[in-house]
Amino acid sequence: MRRELTLFRDGPLENTDATHVVRMPTPHAVLSTGHIDILLAAAVAGLGIAGLPSFASAQALREGRLERVLPQWRGSRLFLYAAIPSRKHVPARTRAFVDFLVQAFGGTDADPWLTAQPRPEI
């Protein structure tokens, strides 16, 4: 099985010879897991670089326990779709949820977790 890391560059490129996609073979890793919590704990403990989704790493980044390395690159991008059978007679709670999704995730390339303010302590 061939293992590789694929990174996608965000934003404009400085020269025309550059590419938006880079694929690199990955060496044998000391720790290999698909569990986000384990990857986060390993990165916070200083075991190396981890490709983490922003929703999992945002708090550690805000607190300074993690540092972004290659902020102009990303591992992948997810798309969110909301489908309803008809725009007629949509329940208020469904309309409120769709409106929330559009407000939180729609119309911008900004990452909502990296731009979010920390929650106040309760």
pLDDT of residue 28: 72
Please tell me whether the overall predicted TM-score, pTM, comes out greater than 0.75 for this model: no
The alpha-helical segments, DSSP class H, found in 1-122 are: 36-44, 54-62, 92-105, 112-115
H or E element that contains 7: strand 4-9
The domain spans of the chain are: 1-78, 79-112
Per-residue pLDDT of the chain (122 residues; tens, 9 = 90+): 556 667 777 665 555 455 677 777 767 777 778 889 998 999 999 988 888 888 899 899 999 999 988 777 777 777 788 888 888 889 999 999 988 888 888 777 777 777 665 555 55
pLDDT of residue 34: 81
